[in-house]
Every structure is written in C-alpha cells, then in structure tokens.
Chain A
C-alpha cells in the first residue's frame, strides 16, 4: 500500500476512534427503568453478552442461595434507585474475594466476601450505589466501546510508530472502569446514598477497610477496585464528599446488619478458610466487635484461622480460641475435633482421645468419622508407647 494511502487510512481509523470517544462521552445516562434499554445495535450486543454471562453464572452454581438475603439486597438497591425498580437486579455470589460488579444490562453481583466485611447497611449501600451508577450511566457499554476503539487506535498508531501509553489503556479497559467513570460512580453514588437517607460518613470506611485487607492478604487477583491506588482514590473521594455532610443519617446499626448477614458471614468464613485465606479471616475475627456479632461458636473459626496461618505462637492461640468456643458453645461438634487434633499434634494424647471421642458422640453421623477414628487409634497407640 502506498505511503499516502497508509496515512489516509490511519487518519480515518484515528478519526473514527476519536469520533467514537466523542459519541460515547455524550451518551446520556438512563433516567428511569422504562427508558433503560439499549439505544443502538452495539449496545444491544453488550446487553446480550451480559445476559449470556448471567446465564452462565446461574448454571455454574456460584450464586449464594438465600431468598431472604436476595430480597434484602434488592430492597436496599431499590431504596437507592427507586425509579429503576425492576431494571437493576442484585444477587449475592458465593465467593470470598472482595468483589462486586455491574453488568451493562443492570444485573449487579456482590460477592459474599465483600458483604461479610461491611459493618452496617450504610456501607453496603455505598457499594450498591456505586455499582448501580455504573449501570445507570452506561459505563459497561462505554468501556466496551472504548476498548474496541482504543485497541484499534493503539494497533494502528503502533504500526505507524506513534508513541502511546499502552499501560493507561490496559488499566482503564481491562481492570475495571476508567478513572473518570469510577469517579462519576463515586459522586453520583454518594448523592444517591444521601438522598436515600443513609449516613454518608460511613462511605469512606468501606474502602479504608478494603485497603487494610488488600495489604494484609497481598492478593494479586483482579477484584473490586483492582489496585491499591484505585482504592486510595475511592477513600479520598468519599472523604472529600462526606466532609461537607452534616452528621447523622440511617443505616448505621451494626446489630441490625449483623443479624441479617450472620449466616452469610459464617458461610463466608468457612469458604475463606477452605481456600486458605487465613489472614483475611483473621482481619475479621480479631476484631472483637465483629466476633461478637457472630454465633457463640465463632472462636472455633478464629482457632482454625490461627492453625492455618501457622505462624509463631499460632498453635497456642488456636488452642485458646478453641477452648473459648467450647466454653461458649459446648454443643458445637467441630470444636471437639479441632481440639482432638491439636492435642494429638502437641503430644497430649489423653486430651486428644477425650476430645475426639466426644466429637463422635456429639456428631455420630460426622462425614469425617474415618479420619477421626484413625486419629483416635494413633493417639491410643502413642499413649501406650506403641
């Protein structure tokens, strides 16, 4: 192809990309449920993909099955976006990762891991308001189009030797929404929060807590806000917005929220521990306020988290936690097993036998009976010096 043709073609492609950017910038947010529909074939495609993705989520068994919790989530969402009732649908996803995501068609998914972390309904509402805004402001479609046009832009300009900053495109296009869209979701979401009567001073706390957890766990996976700097931006935005807000507002009752999500929190703890996420579990369980909101046997999970972390002094910490669980909830069978195994490993065979035997009495149908019987035999053999 002749040089002039190449330049002309490149100019057309670049122009198209920039033109696309202008069109996307002017794409108006949805104003209410009735009008929340794709406005173009391109947008319809993105909605179809979203529906297909929701179908996959439904078939894959990852949805957290709790009708009452779904109803609660939906009620909070509807209080934030009353004019979008029916258009924004929210469900909980069984996953310990700190994640929530909004699909372009109004389907919002919140991980149980994230929900378990909130201290009250206002904090939950902060995230739902943020995610709901991604839908009302069509960020999903705009991101997809940006990715296509920017990727084209990048490939063309790379060919022609024009320098660009590919890492900016990557961050904005692949790991969450662009900085501008996230800031828009912060602002509009914050306004919704206030209008619905929630205490806006709770909003920065959500992200501060997430930042602590990111640092503690050091996970690499993409999640809700993708990167530490992005989380810092959320904290800064929310702090700035709420600085102007008067004191007071609803949704701050820890007790009410704790009652609603107690089962979810326990399920989430079990999920986290089963995936080896001891540090994250400890962040929650070492908070006495949080521990107090869990059932009386919750110190068992604290013991398990220490055991799995396996750091210096953790063996003794786990024993102490198990004993607390035993004192507070003597009918909770797993504590006996945990203590039985702990004493086996620490050479206290009589105690091991006593607790493992008690476990099988309290849980005669235990699925791990064979392991426990095996350990009982080991403990007896050791005790007898065999």
Chain B
C-alpha cells in the first residue's frame, strides 16, 4: 500500500501522467491498447507512467484494483525472471508469488490462501489469494489473476483490508476480471 501511495505521489510530481478520472463509462481500453476491460463505474482511475492502471472507490488505503501489462522478459523484475507463454499456470503463479514476496518485508511472509488455475479471456492463467499484516497489525488480502501471452504478462490485482472492506467490493473486482479481454484476438487452446 505504501508503494501504491508513493507511486501516485511520484507520478504526480513527475508531471508526466494524466490526472485521475472518474470512471463514467465502464468499458476501458488499456493505456497501451493491449486489453479492454469494464471498470466499475463511479470509481476513480489513475494511469501510471508505466501504463499501470490503479482504480479505487474509496481511496487506495481501502481498496485498489491494479491492471498491469509487461513484456514477457520484464514480467518479474525483482526476481529477474521472465514469463513465457508456454509456462504452466502453476509455474506462472509461482513466479508471480515469488515476485510479490520480494516487494517488501511484510509481503515476504505472506500466506497463500488460494492458488488455482483459471481461464482468462480463453487463455490459461492463475488466480491466487494471499494475506499479510501491516505494521499496525491490520490483515490485508490480495487477490491476483495472471496470464502470459506472446504479447506479455498481464496481471489484475485487488487489495483491501480484510476487515469490512475486502468482501465489500470483491464482487466489483471479479466482474472486472470477467470482462477482461486482450485486444490481440489469438487465443491459445488448453495445452
């Protein structure tokens, strides 16, 4: 959460990012044009300089949806690993969780609650749910979907305090995920 706030602050200071906007029309094209998605209307979206979308209804400390796309070779910068479209979903999930754990100390001891294969826009991907504690002892939950395609590694994440907030807008997030589609229309059959 600290990283999200600082990223927003840095982006604002850098002056090279569009101001945040309310989501009035649900259908949204990715900043780099690589996907389409229906965002919850009434929420507020920020576009980062690296084209990551951050979306929230009540404020990032209370809930955040993140949509990001990276080239396969730069999918996991902290662990210096690449993704590949031939990877099994469990391998992709493993690398993703490894990357998450390397973000900071709190995340390094995250607990994996769920981790399973899913189909995302007709492609094989994964869904994981992890939990970790903030320094003040607040339990945070973090759901992530990920898939690798020849056009890159895509992740859709949702983070919120478990207490009251997580369940409150989980449904909005899952609708967003269900609407996700790549603009590159080639799909891979189940391997």
Interface residues of A (CB under 8 A from B): 56, 59-62, 94-96, 274-276, 341, 344-345, 367-368, 370-371, 374-375, 377-378, 381
The contact string, 1 if C-beta is below 8 Å from chain A, for chain B 171-191, is 000000000000000000011
| B90 and A60 contact, CB distance less than 8 A | no
Q: Kindly list 6 other residue pairs between chains A and B, CB separation below 8 angstroms, not including A60-B135, A345-B88.
A: A60-B105, A94-B108, A95-B109, A367-B115, A368-B116, A370-B116
- Please name 29 pairs of A and B residues whose Cβ atoms are closer than 8 Å in the assembled complex, sorted by A: A59-B135, A59-B136, A59-B137, A60-B109, A60-B133, A61-B109, A62-B105, A62-B108, A62-B109, A94-B108, A274-B94, A274-B97, A274-B98, A275-B98, A275-B102, A276-B76, A276-B79, A276-B95, A276-B98, A276-B102, A341-B90, A367-B114, A370-B116, A371-B88, A371-B89, A375-B88, A375-B90, A377-B190, A378-B191
Query: Is A274 in contact with B101, judged by CB distance below 8 angstroms?
Result: yes
Per CB-CB distance, the 9 closest pairs between chain A and chain B, nearest first, are: A59-B137, A276-B79, A276-B98, A56-B135, A370-B116, A61-B133, A371-B90, A275-B101, A374-B117
Inter-chain CA distance A127–B184, complex, in Å, is 56
A56 CA to B109 CA in the complex, in Å? 14
Chain A residues within an 8 Å CB radius of B98 = 274-276
User: Which residues 70-118 in B have Cβ within 8 Å of A in the complex?
Assistant: 76, 79, 81, 88-90, 94-95, 97-99, 101-102, 105-106, 108-109, 114-117
Interface range for B: 20 to 34
Q: Give the docked Cα–Cα distance between A385 and B105 (Å).
A: 47
Residues on B with C-beta less than 8 A from A370 are 116-117
Give the interface SS of chain B, mostly helix, strand, loop or mixed. Answer: mixed
The verdict on B132 contacting chain A, using a C-beta distance below 8 Å, is: yes
B residues near A (Cβ < 8 Å) are 76, 79, 81, 88-90, 94-95, 97-99, 101-102, 105-106, 108-109, 114-117, 132-137, 190-191
- Residues of A contacting B133 in the complex (Cβ-Cβ under 8 angstroms): 59-61
Bound complex: CA of A279 vs CA of B165, how far in Å? 40
